[in-house]
Copies of this chain bind each other. A is one copy, B any other.
Amino acid sequence: MVSSSSARRPKARVQHHAAPTVDLSAVIMAATPDEPRVLTVRGQPHQLDGLPSGPLRSEHRTLEAGLRTWVAEQTQLTLGYVEQLYTFGDRDRAEADIQGGGHALSIAYLALVREARPAGLAHAAWQNWYGYLPWEDWRNGRPKALGVIEPALKAWARAGGKTLRQFREERIELTFGFESGTWTDERVLERYELLYEAGLVSEALRDAQKPVSSKVRLAPGQPMALDHRRILATAIGRLRGKIKYRPVIFELMPASFTLLDLQRTVEALSGVRLHKQNFRRLVEMQGLVEETGEITTETGGRPARLVRFRREVLIERPAPGVRLPRLR
């Protein structure tokens, strides 16, 4: 468009033009009733886990096609549900080893699959999300990681001046809800970013090129390569939000399952416990599933019906959660 008017821009003269590199990264998720998983590969840099990814190539017709190609090649997985997540490109994150200091763009995608053993590249494996973000799992009560996080964040807030302090405190309260006790499961990225800014995750110190201080000892959660933990946080937040208004969980479920399986899986993803009876009512009212006619006794107690997803709902439900009082 207008960009050709470079005559007006003195700085443009520099012409470093360190062309940005563009990577496609995939957050591939799967889940069992008790564990949400993400597929990671172990790479050279510091032996940290990372996400499957590869550079965008001109052969790729579309970005998504390029991503699928990379994933198929690296893990032998054929992705079903895929959606674009976000494009990351901050210069000073991700310890980019770009020559001229150009941008290292990373276009991240979220993919949901029914778990299968990954092949292709040797070092790919499924990992529990919460190994990277332990404070996100409230299924068994308040995560212990918060025992470290809460005081550290509060100290960080106090370290600023009056205005800054109040600003930080509000932000901490909004994302972690220490005082009010309100935990909003979707704010995963906001929480991670806050921890990053407060220097409480090791990536922050790495990017700032500070020596590994004593703080790092306390840093909760396993770090990941580059800014992959941030990407993971983005993906989890997006997924947690989405299961509330779109039947995406079914992309993760086997062909048939019990209602408790379904509930446990949702709990694993959202990191909170749900009210059983009401969960079932919700699922049945919305017509999300139908009985297969079979029954399983493997649940421990009274045998449970097996159900399957009703594909029709994808066509049915018109507007999910409209909040506007429409006319007519």
| Residues of chain A at the chain B interface (Cβ within 8 Å) | 1-5, 8-9, 11-12, 14, 16-20, 22-23, 25, 41, 43-44, 50-63, 70, 73-74, 84, 86-87, 89-92, 100-103, 105, 107, 121, 170, 173-174, 177, 180, 182, 184-186, 225-226, 243-245, 266, 270, 272-275, 278-279, 281-282, 315, 318-319, 321-328
Contact = CB atoms under 8 A, between A and B. Distances in A.
Contacts of A63: 87, 89-90, 103
A239 to B, nearest CB: 13
Given A58-B17, A326-B272, A170 B315 contact: yes
Instruction: Provide the main secondary structure of the chain A interface.
Output: loop
A1 B41 contact: yes
Given A18-B58, A22-B105, A272-B324, 12 more contacts: A1-B43, A1-B50, A1-B225, A2-B52, A2-B54, A3-B55, A11-B57, A22-B22, A56-B89, A62-B89, A89-B107, A278-B325
Contacts of A328: 273
A100 B321 contact: no
B327 A272 contact: yes
Nearest to A182: B318
A226 B1 CA distance: 9
Contacts of A177: 318
A266 to B, nearest CB: 7
Contacts of A61: 90-92
Contacts of A1: 25, 41, 43, 50-54, 225-226
Could you say which of A55, A87, A105 has the most chain B C-beta atoms within 10 Å of its C-beta? A87
Stoichiometry, as copies per complex, reads 2
A2 B121 contact: yes
A237 to B, nearest CB: 13
A22 B20 contact: yes
Contacts of A174: 315
A279 B177 CA distance: 30
Given A245-B323, A282-B325, A101 B274 contact: no
20 contacts: A2-B41, A2-B50, A3-B53, A3-B54, A11-B57, A14-B59, A17-B58, A58-B100, A58-B103, A61-B90, A84-B86, A87-B87, A180-B318, A182-B318, A186-B319, A245-B321, A272-B324, A274-B325, A275-B326, A278-B325
A91 B57 CA distance: 11
A273 B327 CA distance: 6
A324 to B, nearest CB: 6
A101 to B, nearest CB: 6
B121 A5 contact: yes
A101 B61 CA distance: 10
A58 B101 contact: yes
B182 A16 contact: no
